[in-house]
Structure 1
């Protein structure tokens, strides 16, 4: 079973909604989750926030956070997830911001990715990962890490099977 199938089935079974705010993954997370039959019951929509302006306009990331920390940061990843969760009133929201490559961004080498996750019971977590490979590989590895974060959160919150 693919990881997105496990995530989707858990969310559907427990009637927990999810959204995403994606930058470097450009909707890949939600696209893979949408492959799960019945996911529309818990996936109301998602955001692709590629630019700093879109992060602010669509999910409310404060401009001062972007100016002070850069778009590739723990602070912006958390704000993206929190903003997406608030915008669609979901139980969970995951965010992806980083450098797919091949060039560095804001002093961060290609493969630097911050993944944020917020959920019920004030659950909030951000991880920083250093991934390798070309743009496609970095994006896919980011999505897989995000899926695993959701599974881990379900276990941490004692929601999973």
Structure 2
């Protein structure tokens, strides 16, 4: 586990080592366990992966590591001066922004859903914690909603 002395040298492996996934969990979905170790500290994230996905927990630890490194390198640092964008997030944003934007499609969203409901009516359109909705069901509900909006003058 990285210590305060090593925070400036935290690697991807250090972040991976700090992830402890718990299927059975207590009160909090995320707990950072920070323990003194001589004149340094160890930091471990204990979390429920059903609530916080592994990739999000990894990003959170990278962000924490970045902020600690930033503060450790500056005397008299003020909270308002912290640069919050960590190198990994900056690289991700640069990658997204370097890609060409998709071509503009001159179609309405409701037409796309109608097409999907005809081509794959039994495919899942919406999935949530309390169930799922198939494209055929979505088509019926959205058409009913559209009719109601038109009747109400929208």
Is TM-score (shorter-chain normalized) higher than 0.5? no
The normalised TM-score by structure 1 is 0.27
Larger radius of gyration: 2
If asked which structure has higher relative contact order (CA below 8 Å, sep 6+), I would say 1
